Structure 1
Amino acid sequence: MPRAVALTLALTLVASAHAADGTLQPEHLIIGSDLTYPPYTYLAEGKPAGFDPEFMALLGQQLKLTPQFHDTRFANLVMGVNARRFDVVASALYVTPERAAQVDFVPYLKSGASLMVRADDNFRPQRPEDLCGKRVGSIKGGSWIPKLMALSKSYCQANGQAPIDSREFPTSPEAAQALLAKAVDVQFEDAAVAAITAEKLKGRITLSSQTLIYPVVIGLAVRKGNDVLLKQLDQGLAAMKASGDYQTLLSRYNLGEPSPSDVAQALGQGPQAVSQ
Protein backbone atom coordinates (compact mmCIF):
# COMPACT_ATOMS: atom_id res chain seq x y z
CA MET A 1 0.00 0.00 0.00
CA PRO A 2 1.45 3.42 -0.96
CA ARG A 3 2.54 5.50 2.02
CA ALA A 4 0.19 8.40 1.17
CA VAL A 5 -2.79 6.05 0.94
CA ALA A 6 -1.83 4.38 4.23
CA LEU A 7 -1.58 7.77 5.94
CA THR A 8 -4.97 8.84 4.60
CA LEU A 9 -6.51 5.58 5.80
CA ALA A 10 -4.97 6.01 9.25
CA LEU A 11 -6.29 9.55 9.55
CA THR A 12 -9.73 8.37 8.46
CA LEU A 13 -9.71 5.65 11.10
CA VAL A 14 -8.69 8.16 13.78
CA ALA A 15 -11.45 10.54 12.71
CA SER A 16 -13.97 7.71 12.79
CA ALA A 17 -12.85 6.74 16.28
CA HIS A 18 -13.33 10.33 17.43
CA ALA A 19 -16.78 10.44 15.85
CA ALA A 20 -17.66 7.20 17.64
CA ASP A 21 -16.76 8.89 20.93
CA GLY A 22 -19.24 11.66 20.11
CA THR A 23 -16.65 14.42 20.57
CA LEU A 24 -14.33 16.19 18.15
CA GLN A 25 -11.26 15.52 20.31
CA PRO A 26 -10.59 12.56 22.61
CA GLU A 27 -11.05 13.30 26.33
CA HIS A 28 -12.26 16.84 25.59
CA LEU A 29 -15.70 18.46 25.33
CA ILE A 30 -15.51 21.52 23.10
CA ILE A 31 -18.23 24.00 24.04
CA GLY A 32 -19.60 26.91 22.05
CA SER A 33 -20.70 29.75 24.33
CA ASP A 34 -21.25 33.50 24.12
CA LEU A 35 -19.02 34.65 26.97
CA THR A 36 -20.61 38.09 27.19
CA TYR A 37 -23.82 37.01 28.94
CA PRO A 38 -23.56 37.05 32.75
CA PRO A 39 -24.63 35.34 34.93
CA TYR A 40 -24.86 32.43 32.48
CA THR A 41 -21.58 32.77 30.59
CA TYR A 42 -18.89 35.44 30.82
CA LEU A 43 -15.17 35.97 31.31
CA ALA A 44 -13.71 36.61 34.76
CA GLU A 45 -9.98 37.31 34.80
CA GLY A 46 -9.78 35.83 31.31
CA LYS A 47 -11.48 32.56 32.21
CA PRO A 48 -15.03 31.31 31.51
CA ALA A 49 -17.31 31.92 34.51
CA GLY A 50 -20.99 31.76 35.37
CA PHE A 51 -23.67 29.10 35.49
CA ASP A 52 -22.87 27.32 32.24
CA PRO A 53 -19.10 26.99 32.82
CA GLU A 54 -19.80 25.67 36.33
CA PHE A 55 -22.47 23.32 35.03
CA MET A 56 -20.23 22.04 32.23
CA ALA A 57 -17.33 21.52 34.65
CA LEU A 58 -19.56 19.27 36.78
CA LEU A 59 -20.90 17.53 33.68
CA GLY A 60 -17.35 17.04 32.38
CA GLN A 61 -16.41 15.31 35.64
CA GLN A 62 -19.28 12.87 35.16
CA LEU A 63 -18.30 12.18 31.56
CA LYS A 64 -14.53 12.10 32.20
CA LEU A 65 -14.11 14.89 29.63
CA THR A 66 -12.23 18.19 29.94
CA PRO A 67 -14.42 21.20 29.00
CA GLN A 68 -12.91 23.64 26.51
CA PHE A 69 -14.87 26.83 25.79
CA HIS A 70 -14.93 28.63 22.42
CA ASP A 71 -16.23 32.19 22.77
CA THR A 72 -18.79 32.59 19.98
CA ARG A 73 -21.43 35.28 19.46
CA PHE A 74 -24.93 34.07 20.20
CA ALA A 75 -26.30 34.36 16.66
CA ASN A 76 -23.59 31.97 15.38
CA LEU A 77 -23.91 29.19 17.97
CA VAL A 78 -26.35 26.85 16.20
CA MET A 79 -24.49 27.23 12.93
CA GLY A 80 -21.21 26.54 14.71
CA VAL A 81 -22.27 23.28 16.33
CA ASN A 82 -23.72 22.08 13.03
CA ALA A 83 -20.44 23.00 11.28
CA ARG A 84 -18.57 20.86 13.89
CA ARG A 85 -16.66 23.81 15.29
CA PHE A 86 -17.60 22.54 18.73
CA ASP A 87 -19.39 19.55 20.27
CA VAL A 88 -22.13 21.27 22.21
CA VAL A 89 -23.69 24.69 22.79
CA ALA A 90 -24.00 25.76 26.44
CA SER A 91 -25.07 29.40 26.36
CA ALA A 92 -28.59 30.03 27.74
CA LEU A 93 -30.02 28.75 24.44
CA TYR A 94 -33.82 28.69 24.59
CA VAL A 95 -35.51 25.50 23.39
CA THR A 96 -37.90 26.30 20.53
CA PRO A 97 -39.54 24.18 17.83
CA GLU A 98 -37.58 26.11 15.19
CA ARG A 99 -34.23 25.40 16.84
CA ALA A 100 -35.23 21.79 17.57
CA ALA A 101 -35.50 21.30 13.82
CA GLN A 102 -31.80 22.21 13.54
CA VAL A 103 -30.24 20.67 16.67
CA ASP A 104 -31.01 18.13 19.38
CA PHE A 105 -31.53 19.47 22.90
CA VAL A 106 -30.76 18.33 26.43
CA PRO A 107 -33.11 20.60 28.44
CA TYR A 108 -31.53 21.58 31.76
CA LEU A 109 -32.90 24.98 32.88
CA LYS A 110 -36.10 26.99 33.15
CA SER A 111 -36.03 30.78 33.00
CA GLY A 112 -38.01 33.68 31.52
CA ALA A 113 -37.65 37.29 30.45
CA SER A 114 -37.91 40.73 32.04
CA LEU A 115 -38.27 44.29 30.79
CA MET A 116 -35.60 46.82 31.76
CA VAL A 117 -35.93 50.61 31.60
CA ARG A 118 -33.90 53.61 32.71
CA ALA A 119 -34.53 54.47 36.33
CA ASP A 120 -35.12 58.13 35.43
CA ASP A 121 -37.83 57.26 32.88
CA ASN A 122 -41.52 57.24 33.82
CA PHE A 123 -42.17 54.47 31.29
CA ARG A 124 -42.79 51.25 33.27
CA PRO A 125 -43.95 48.47 30.91
CA GLN A 126 -45.25 45.27 32.50
CA ARG A 127 -46.17 43.18 29.45
CA PRO A 128 -45.10 42.87 25.81
CA GLU A 129 -48.40 44.55 24.91
CA ASP A 130 -47.07 47.72 26.58
CA LEU A 131 -44.30 48.00 23.98
CA CYS A 132 -46.36 49.26 21.03
CA GLY A 133 -44.60 52.22 19.40
CA LYS A 134 -41.48 51.72 21.55
CA ARG A 135 -37.87 51.03 20.57
CA VAL A 136 -37.01 47.65 22.09
CA GLY A 137 -33.37 46.58 22.45
CA SER A 138 -32.38 42.89 22.48
CA ILE A 139 -29.35 40.70 22.04
CA LYS A 140 -29.06 39.68 18.38
CA GLY A 141 -30.84 36.38 17.75
CA GLY A 142 -32.95 36.52 20.91
CA SER A 143 -35.73 33.96 20.44
CA TRP A 144 -38.40 36.37 21.74
CA ILE A 145 -37.87 38.73 18.78
CA PRO A 146 -40.10 36.83 16.30
CA LYS A 147 -42.79 36.66 18.97
CA LEU A 148 -42.56 40.42 19.54
CA MET A 149 -42.80 41.05 15.81
CA ALA A 150 -45.88 38.82 15.59
CA LEU A 151 -47.41 40.68 18.55
CA SER A 152 -46.63 43.98 16.87
CA LYS A 153 -48.87 43.00 13.94
CA SER A 154 -51.57 41.05 15.76
CA TYR A 155 -51.98 43.44 18.69
CA CYS A 156 -50.33 46.83 18.17
CA GLN A 157 -51.16 47.48 14.54
CA ALA A 158 -54.46 45.59 14.73
CA ASN A 159 -55.53 48.03 17.45
CA GLY A 160 -54.41 51.13 15.59
CA GLN A 161 -51.19 51.58 17.59
CA ALA A 162 -47.67 52.08 16.28
CA PRO A 163 -45.62 48.90 15.69
CA ILE A 164 -42.85 47.72 18.00
CA ASP A 165 -39.44 48.95 16.79
CA SER A 166 -37.12 46.01 17.45
CA ARG A 167 -33.39 46.82 17.55
CA GLU A 168 -30.79 44.07 17.93
CA PHE A 169 -27.27 44.34 19.37
CA PRO A 170 -24.34 41.87 19.24
CA THR A 171 -24.25 41.47 23.04
CA SER A 172 -26.49 42.10 26.03
CA PRO A 173 -24.13 44.74 27.51
CA GLU A 174 -24.30 46.68 24.24
CA ALA A 175 -28.10 46.58 24.40
CA ALA A 176 -27.90 47.94 27.98
CA GLN A 177 -25.57 50.73 26.86
CA ALA A 178 -28.06 51.64 24.13
CA LEU A 179 -30.75 51.86 26.80
CA LEU A 180 -28.61 54.15 28.94
CA ALA A 181 -27.82 56.28 25.88
CA LYS A 182 -31.57 56.58 25.13
CA ALA A 183 -31.09 54.84 21.77
CA VAL A 184 -33.86 52.44 22.86
CA ASP A 185 -36.74 52.85 25.28
CA VAL A 186 -36.65 49.42 26.89
CA GLN A 187 -34.48 46.31 26.92
CA PHE A 188 -36.07 42.87 26.60
CA GLU A 189 -33.78 40.46 28.44
CA ASP A 190 -33.51 37.10 30.13
CA ALA A 191 -34.65 37.49 33.74
CA ALA A 192 -31.42 36.33 35.38
CA VAL A 193 -29.33 38.51 33.06
CA ALA A 194 -31.61 41.49 33.68
CA ALA A 195 -31.26 41.15 37.46
CA ILE A 196 -27.48 41.08 37.41
CA THR A 197 -27.34 43.91 34.85
CA ALA A 198 -29.49 46.14 37.05
CA GLU A 199 -27.28 45.28 40.03
CA LYS A 200 -24.06 46.10 38.17
CA LEU A 201 -25.39 49.41 36.88
CA LYS A 202 -26.19 50.47 40.45
CA GLY A 203 -29.63 51.95 40.07
CA ARG A 204 -29.32 53.46 36.59
CA ILE A 205 -31.52 50.70 35.15
CA THR A 206 -34.50 49.03 36.81
CA LEU A 207 -36.70 46.02 36.09
CA SER A 208 -40.20 47.25 35.31
CA SER A 209 -41.97 43.90 34.78
CA GLN A 210 -43.08 42.04 37.89
CA THR A 211 -43.55 38.51 36.52
CA LEU A 212 -41.64 36.30 34.09
CA ILE A 213 -42.50 37.02 30.46
CA TYR A 214 -42.58 34.09 28.04
CA PRO A 215 -41.31 31.41 30.48
CA VAL A 216 -38.74 29.34 28.63
CA VAL A 217 -36.77 26.12 28.78
CA ILE A 218 -33.02 26.32 28.17
CA GLY A 219 -31.08 23.42 26.67
CA LEU A 220 -27.67 22.17 25.67
CA ALA A 221 -27.59 21.77 21.90
CA VAL A 222 -25.76 19.12 19.88
CA ARG A 223 -25.59 18.47 16.16
CA LYS A 224 -28.40 16.28 14.87
CA GLY A 225 -27.09 12.78 14.27
CA ASN A 226 -24.58 12.93 17.12
CA ASP A 227 -26.63 10.43 19.12
CA VAL A 228 -23.61 9.13 21.04
CA LEU A 229 -22.87 12.51 22.59
CA LEU A 230 -26.58 13.21 23.15
CA LYS A 231 -26.86 10.00 25.19
CA GLN A 232 -23.69 10.80 27.14
CA LEU A 233 -25.00 14.25 28.07
CA ASP A 234 -28.34 12.81 29.18
CA GLN A 235 -26.57 10.25 31.36
CA GLY A 236 -24.21 12.85 32.80
CA LEU A 237 -27.11 15.13 33.73
CA ALA A 238 -28.92 12.23 35.41
CA ALA A 239 -25.78 11.52 37.44
CA MET A 240 -25.53 15.17 38.48
CA LYS A 241 -29.13 15.07 39.68
CA ALA A 242 -28.47 11.87 41.64
CA SER A 243 -25.44 13.44 43.35
CA GLY A 244 -27.30 16.62 44.31
CA ASP A 245 -24.81 18.85 42.46
CA TYR A 246 -27.42 19.92 39.94
CA GLN A 247 -29.95 21.14 42.51
CA THR A 248 -27.26 22.96 44.48
CA LEU A 249 -26.12 24.86 41.39
CA LEU A 250 -29.67 25.76 40.36
CA SER A 251 -30.41 27.15 43.81
CA ARG A 252 -27.29 29.30 43.83
CA TYR A 253 -28.30 30.98 40.56
CA ASN A 254 -32.02 31.19 41.36
CA LEU A 255 -32.95 29.02 38.39
CA GLY A 256 -35.37 26.10 38.04
CA GLU A 257 -35.54 22.59 36.63
CA PRO A 258 -37.92 22.22 33.68
CA SER A 259 -40.69 19.64 34.03
CA PRO A 260 -41.55 17.19 31.22
CA SER A 261 -44.62 19.32 30.42
CA ASP A 262 -42.43 22.46 30.26
CA VAL A 263 -40.17 20.71 27.75
CA ALA A 264 -43.09 19.44 25.69
CA GLN A 265 -44.57 22.94 25.47
CA ALA A 266 -41.19 24.43 24.53
CA LEU A 267 -40.90 21.91 21.71
CA GLY A 268 -44.41 22.68 20.50
CA GLN A 269 -45.74 19.31 21.62
CA GLY A 270 -47.83 20.24 24.66
CA PRO A 271 -51.54 21.14 24.77
CA GLN A 272 -50.65 24.79 25.46
CA ALA A 273 -47.48 24.84 23.40
CA VAL A 274 -46.16 28.19 22.37
CA SER A 275 -43.22 29.24 20.20
CA GLN A 276 -40.70 31.33 22.11
Structure 2
Amino acid sequence: MKKFSFLGILVILVLALSACGSSDSEGTGDSASGGDSEDKVYKVGVDTTYPPFEFQEDGEYKGIDIDLINAIAEDQGFKIQLEPMDFSGIIPAMQAGELDIAIAGMSITDKRKKVVDFSEPYFEAGLSLVTAEGNSEIKSLEDLNGKTVAVKKGTTGANFATENKDKYGFEIVQVNDSTSMFQEVSNGSADALIEDYPVISYAIAQDDLGLQVVGDRLNGDNYGIAVLKGENDELLKKINEGLANLKESGKYDEILNTYLGDQ
Protein backbone atom coordinates (compact mmCIF):
# COMPACT_ATOMS: atom_id res chain seq x y z
CA MET A 1 0.00 0.00 0.00
CA LYS A 2 2.78 2.38 0.87
CA LYS A 3 4.59 1.33 -2.28
CA PHE A 4 1.50 2.06 -4.40
CA SER A 5 1.01 5.41 -2.71
CA PHE A 6 4.62 6.34 -3.22
CA LEU A 7 4.51 5.40 -6.91
CA GLY A 8 1.24 7.20 -7.33
CA ILE A 9 2.60 10.34 -5.76
CA LEU A 10 5.74 10.05 -7.91
CA VAL A 11 3.69 9.74 -11.10
CA ILE A 12 1.60 12.75 -10.12
CA LEU A 13 4.72 14.80 -9.44
CA VAL A 14 6.27 13.82 -12.79
CA LEU A 15 3.09 14.72 -14.64
CA ALA A 16 2.85 18.02 -12.79
CA LEU A 17 6.45 18.88 -13.56
CA SER A 18 5.96 17.92 -17.22
CA ALA A 19 2.91 20.15 -17.43
CA CYS A 20 4.81 23.04 -15.90
CA GLY A 21 7.73 22.45 -18.22
CA SER A 22 5.42 22.40 -21.23
CA SER A 23 3.72 25.59 -20.12
CA ASP A 24 7.02 27.33 -19.45
CA SER A 25 8.40 26.22 -22.79
CA GLU A 26 5.40 27.56 -24.68
CA GLY A 27 5.58 30.81 -22.76
CA THR A 28 9.27 31.18 -23.49
CA GLY A 29 8.64 30.49 -27.13
CA ASP A 30 5.98 33.17 -27.35
CA SER A 31 8.17 35.59 -25.49
CA ALA A 32 11.15 34.88 -27.73
CA SER A 33 9.05 35.33 -30.83
CA GLY A 34 7.70 38.60 -29.58
CA GLY A 35 11.15 39.64 -28.44
CA ASP A 36 12.62 38.91 -31.85
CA SER A 37 10.00 41.13 -33.44
CA GLU A 38 10.52 43.95 -30.96
CA ASP A 39 14.30 43.66 -30.93
CA LYS A 40 14.70 43.31 -34.69
CA VAL A 41 17.26 45.80 -35.99
CA TYR A 42 16.93 46.59 -39.69
CA LYS A 43 20.21 47.14 -41.49
CA VAL A 44 20.10 50.20 -43.74
CA GLY A 45 22.49 50.63 -46.67
CA VAL A 46 23.71 54.21 -47.14
CA ASP A 47 26.38 55.93 -49.22
CA THR A 48 27.98 58.54 -46.97
CA THR A 49 29.85 60.27 -49.80
CA TYR A 50 26.62 61.81 -51.10
CA PRO A 51 25.86 65.15 -49.42
CA PRO A 52 23.39 66.68 -48.78
CA PHE A 53 21.62 63.32 -48.58
CA GLU A 54 24.29 61.33 -46.74
CA PHE A 55 27.65 62.37 -45.35
CA GLN A 56 29.85 62.09 -42.29
CA GLU A 57 30.83 65.10 -40.21
CA ASP A 58 32.87 64.95 -37.00
CA GLY A 59 32.27 61.20 -36.85
CA GLU A 60 28.49 61.59 -37.12
CA TYR A 61 26.30 60.54 -40.03
CA LYS A 62 24.16 63.40 -41.32
CA GLY A 63 22.01 64.35 -44.28
CA ILE A 64 18.49 64.27 -45.65
CA ASP A 65 18.42 60.48 -46.02
CA ILE A 66 19.93 59.87 -42.58
CA ASP A 67 17.48 62.19 -40.81
CA LEU A 68 14.58 60.87 -42.86
CA ILE A 69 15.10 57.15 -42.17
CA ASN A 70 15.73 57.85 -38.48
CA ALA A 71 12.49 59.84 -38.28
CA ILE A 72 10.53 57.13 -40.12
CA ALA A 73 11.92 54.45 -37.79
CA GLU A 74 10.99 56.52 -34.75
CA ASP A 75 7.51 57.21 -36.11
CA GLN A 76 6.88 53.52 -36.84
CA GLY A 77 8.61 52.12 -33.78
CA PHE A 78 11.36 50.02 -35.34
CA LYS A 79 15.14 50.04 -34.91
CA ILE A 80 17.78 50.59 -37.58
CA GLN A 81 21.52 50.23 -38.00
CA LEU A 82 23.28 52.24 -40.68
CA GLU A 83 25.64 50.31 -42.96
CA PRO A 84 27.83 52.72 -45.02
CA MET A 85 29.14 51.36 -48.34
CA ASP A 86 29.80 52.27 -51.96
CA PHE A 87 26.55 53.00 -53.76
CA SER A 88 27.21 50.31 -56.37
CA GLY A 89 27.36 47.66 -53.64
CA ILE A 90 24.04 48.44 -51.95
CA ILE A 91 21.64 46.42 -54.11
CA PRO A 92 24.01 43.41 -54.30
CA ALA A 93 24.23 43.53 -50.49
CA MET A 94 20.43 43.48 -50.29
CA GLN A 95 20.34 40.48 -52.63
CA ALA A 96 22.88 38.72 -50.42
CA GLY A 97 20.66 39.26 -47.36
CA GLU A 98 23.09 41.69 -45.73
CA LEU A 99 20.72 44.69 -45.83
CA ASP A 100 17.01 45.17 -45.16
CA ILE A 101 16.60 48.76 -46.39
CA ALA A 102 18.40 51.07 -48.80
CA ILE A 103 18.20 54.85 -48.71
CA ALA A 104 20.98 56.45 -50.72
CA GLY A 105 19.59 59.03 -53.09
CA MET A 106 18.44 56.04 -55.14
CA SER A 107 16.44 56.95 -58.22
CA ILE A 108 13.36 54.88 -58.95
CA THR A 109 14.00 53.13 -62.26
CA ASP A 110 12.37 50.24 -64.12
CA LYS A 111 15.65 48.32 -64.03
CA ARG A 112 15.93 48.59 -60.25
CA LYS A 113 12.26 47.69 -59.84
CA LYS A 114 13.11 44.21 -61.10
CA VAL A 115 15.20 43.66 -57.98
CA VAL A 116 13.75 45.94 -55.27
CA ASP A 117 10.42 47.39 -54.19
CA PHE A 118 10.40 51.15 -53.75
CA SER A 119 8.56 53.34 -51.30
CA GLU A 120 6.54 56.29 -52.46
CA PRO A 121 8.92 58.94 -53.90
CA TYR A 122 10.47 61.17 -51.26
CA PHE A 123 12.46 63.60 -53.44
CA GLU A 124 12.24 64.89 -57.03
CA ALA A 125 15.74 65.12 -58.43
CA GLY A 126 17.20 65.15 -61.96
CA LEU A 127 20.61 65.00 -63.61
CA SER A 128 22.84 67.95 -64.46
CA LEU A 129 25.87 68.41 -66.67
CA VAL A 130 28.85 69.89 -64.82
CA THR A 131 32.14 71.33 -66.10
CA ALA A 132 35.18 73.06 -64.65
CA GLU A 133 34.47 76.62 -63.60
CA GLY A 134 35.10 79.06 -66.44
CA ASN A 135 34.65 76.43 -69.17
CA SER A 136 32.65 78.17 -71.91
CA GLU A 137 33.13 75.44 -74.51
CA ILE A 138 30.64 72.94 -73.06
CA LYS A 139 27.09 74.15 -72.54
CA SER A 140 25.04 71.06 -73.39
CA LEU A 141 25.26 67.40 -74.37
CA GLU A 142 25.78 68.47 -77.98
CA ASP A 143 29.15 69.94 -77.01
CA LEU A 144 30.54 66.64 -75.64
CA ASN A 145 31.72 65.14 -78.93
CA GLY A 146 35.28 63.85 -78.42
CA LYS A 147 35.17 64.72 -74.69
CA THR A 148 35.47 62.59 -71.55
CA VAL A 149 32.65 62.44 -68.99
CA ALA A 150 33.13 61.26 -65.40
CA VAL A 151 30.34 59.35 -63.65
CA LYS A 152 29.92 57.38 -60.42
CA LYS A 153 29.46 53.62 -60.78
CA GLY A 154 25.96 52.23 -60.37
CA THR A 155 24.16 55.58 -60.54
CA THR A 156 21.50 56.90 -62.89
CA GLY A 157 24.15 59.36 -64.07
CA ALA A 158 26.31 56.43 -65.15
CA ASN A 159 23.33 54.79 -66.87
CA PHE A 160 22.42 58.03 -68.63
CA ALA A 161 25.99 58.47 -69.87
CA THR A 162 26.17 54.88 -71.11
CA GLU A 163 22.88 55.24 -72.99
CA ASN A 164 23.93 58.52 -74.64
CA LYS A 165 27.70 58.27 -75.21
CA ASP A 166 27.39 57.01 -78.78
CA LYS A 167 24.72 59.56 -79.65
CA TYR A 168 26.85 62.48 -78.47
CA GLY A 169 30.29 60.97 -79.12
CA PHE A 170 31.91 61.14 -75.67
CA GLU A 171 33.98 58.69 -73.63
CA ILE A 172 33.17 57.64 -70.07
CA VAL A 173 35.40 57.29 -67.01
CA GLN A 174 33.75 55.58 -64.02
CA VAL A 175 34.77 56.19 -60.40
CA ASN A 176 33.58 54.87 -57.03
CA ASP A 177 32.51 58.04 -55.24
CA SER A 178 31.41 61.63 -55.78
CA THR A 179 34.63 63.18 -54.47
CA SER A 180 36.73 61.30 -57.03
CA MET A 181 34.28 62.28 -59.76
CA PHE A 182 34.53 65.97 -58.85
CA GLN A 183 38.32 65.76 -58.86
CA GLU A 184 38.38 64.17 -62.32
CA VAL A 185 36.87 67.35 -63.73
CA SER A 186 38.48 69.95 -61.50
CA ASN A 187 41.98 68.62 -62.25
CA GLY A 188 41.32 68.31 -65.98
CA SER A 189 41.34 64.49 -66.25
CA ALA A 190 37.74 64.64 -67.51
CA ASP A 191 35.91 67.39 -69.38
CA ALA A 192 32.57 67.08 -67.64
CA LEU A 193 30.57 65.00 -65.17
CA ILE A 194 26.95 64.02 -64.76
CA GLU A 195 25.47 64.19 -61.27
CA ASP A 196 22.11 64.61 -59.52
CA TYR A 197 21.20 68.29 -59.48
CA PRO A 198 20.59 68.73 -55.72
CA VAL A 199 23.82 66.94 -54.87
CA ILE A 200 26.10 68.94 -57.13
CA SER A 201 24.36 72.22 -56.30
CA TYR A 202 24.86 71.59 -52.58
CA ALA A 203 28.49 70.52 -53.08
CA ILE A 204 29.35 73.64 -55.09
CA ALA A 205 27.62 75.89 -52.55
CA GLN A 206 29.48 74.29 -49.63
CA ASP A 207 33.00 74.08 -51.06
CA ASP A 208 35.16 75.77 -53.64
CA LEU A 209 35.21 72.81 -56.04
CA GLY A 210 36.06 74.78 -59.14
CA LEU A 211 32.94 73.41 -60.85
CA GLN A 212 29.83 74.86 -62.48
CA VAL A 213 26.46 73.48 -63.57
CA VAL A 214 25.72 74.12 -67.24
CA GLY A 215 22.48 73.98 -69.23
CA ASP A 216 19.12 72.60 -68.18
CA ARG A 217 18.50 69.41 -66.23
CA LEU A 218 19.07 66.37 -68.40
CA ASN A 219 16.06 64.49 -67.06
CA GLY A 220 13.67 64.25 -64.14
CA ASP A 221 13.59 61.39 -61.66
CA ASN A 222 12.49 60.58 -58.13
CA TYR A 223 14.30 59.07 -55.15
CA GLY A 224 12.77 56.17 -53.26
CA ILE A 225 13.54 53.99 -50.24
CA ALA A 226 14.11 50.37 -51.27
CA VAL A 227 13.58 46.90 -49.81
CA LEU A 228 14.29 43.58 -51.48
CA LYS A 229 11.56 42.76 -54.00
CA GLY A 230 8.74 40.63 -52.62
CA GLU A 231 10.49 40.03 -49.29
CA ASN A 232 9.54 42.92 -47.00
CA ASP A 233 5.99 44.03 -47.75
CA GLU A 234 5.19 44.81 -44.10
CA LEU A 235 8.38 46.82 -43.69
CA LEU A 236 7.67 48.75 -46.89
CA LYS A 237 4.18 49.51 -45.60
CA LYS A 238 5.68 50.94 -42.40
CA ILE A 239 8.14 53.04 -44.40
CA ASN A 240 5.34 54.49 -46.53
CA GLU A 241 3.16 55.17 -43.49
CA GLY A 242 6.05 56.83 -41.69
CA LEU A 243 6.89 58.97 -44.72
CA ALA A 244 3.26 60.06 -45.06
CA ASN A 245 3.12 60.95 -41.35
CA LEU A 246 6.31 63.03 -41.62
CA LYS A 247 4.93 64.96 -44.58
CA GLU A 248 1.64 65.59 -42.79
CA SER A 249 3.32 66.74 -39.57
CA GLY A 250 5.76 69.07 -41.31
CA LYS A 251 8.80 67.09 -40.13
CA TYR A 252 9.64 66.15 -43.74
CA ASP A 253 9.86 69.81 -44.82
CA GLU A 254 11.88 70.59 -41.71
CA ILE A 255 14.46 67.94 -42.66
CA LEU A 256 14.75 69.20 -46.25
CA ASN A 257 15.02 72.82 -45.17
CA THR A 258 17.87 71.95 -42.79
CA TYR A 259 20.07 71.03 -45.77
CA LEU A 260 18.55 72.80 -48.76
CA GLY A 261 16.96 75.90 -47.32
CA ASP A 262 13.31 76.80 -47.97
CA GLN A 263 12.04 74.88 -50.97
Say yes or no: TM over 0.5: yes
Matches within 5 A, 1:33-72: 33-72=46-85
Q: Aligned match of 1:88 in 76, 93, 101?
A: 101
Q: Which amino acid aligns with 2:224?
A: G
Tell me the alpha carbon deviations over residues 13-33 of structure 1, each in whole angstroms, 9 at most, x when there is no partner: 968985xx5xxx825332100
2:198 counterpart of 1:184: no
Q: Aligned match of 2:214 in 204, 208, 217?
A: 208
Query: d(CA) in 2 for partners of 1:41 and 1:129?
Result: 32
2:85 counterpart of 1:79: no
Matches within 5 A, 1:147-226: 147-153=160-166, 155-156=167-168, 163-202=169-208, 204-209=210-215, 211-224=216-229, 225-226=231-232
RMSD of aligned alpha carbons: 2.6
Q: Which amino acid aligns with 2:232?
A: N
| Aligned equivalent of 1:101 | 114
Query: d(CA) in 2 for partners of 1:203 and 1:88?
Result: 32
Query: d(CA) in 2 for partners of 1:215 and 1:174?
Result: 24
Q: Aligned match of 2:234 in 206, 228, 234?
A: 228
Query: d(CA) in 1 for partners of 2:92 and 2:39?
Result: 22
Percent identity reads: 24
Tell me the alpha carbon deviations over residues 50-77 of structure 1, each in whole angstroms, 9 at most, x when there is no partner: 1111111211110112332111100011
Q: Which has the larger radius of gyration?
A: 2
Would you say the 8 A contact 1:74–1:141 is kept in 2? yes
Would you say the 8 A contact 1:110–1:255 is kept in 2? no
Q: Flag the 1:120–1:113 CA change in 2: closer, same or farther, 3 A.
A: same
TM-score by length of 2: 0.80
Query: d(CA) in 2 for partners of 1:243 and 1:97?
Result: 31
Query: d(CA) in 2 for partners of 1:27 and 1:245?
Result: 25
Would you say the 8 A contact 1:138–1:168 is kept in 2? yes
Would you say the 8 A contact 2:157–2:196 is kept in 1? no
- Deviation at 1:200? 3.6
| Aligned equivalent of 2:15 | none
Would you say the 8 A contact 2:108–2:221 is kept in 1? yes
| Aligned equivalent of 1:139 | 152
**Structure 2 residues not aligned, in runs of 5+:** 1-27
Moved over 6 A (4+): 13-17
Q: Flag the 1:58–1:16 CA change in 2: closer, same or farther, 3 A.
A: closer
Q: Which amino acid aligns with 2:164?
A: L
Matches within 5 A, 1:23-34: 26-34=39-47
Query: d(CA) in 2 for partners of 1:46 and 1:53?
Result: 14
DSSP 3-state at the match of 2:208: coil
| Aligned equivalent of 2:13 | none
Q: Which moved more, 1:242-251 or 1:163-172?
A: 242-251
Query: d(CA) in 1 for partners of 2:124 and 2:80?
Result: 23
Q: Flag the 1:254–1:165 CA change in 2: closer, same or farther, 3 A.
A: same
**Structure 1 residues not aligned, in runs of 5+:** 1-9, 157-162, 258-276
- Deviation at 1:131? 2.2
TM-score by length of 1: 0.76
Would you say the 8 A contact 1:109–1:255 is kept in 2? no
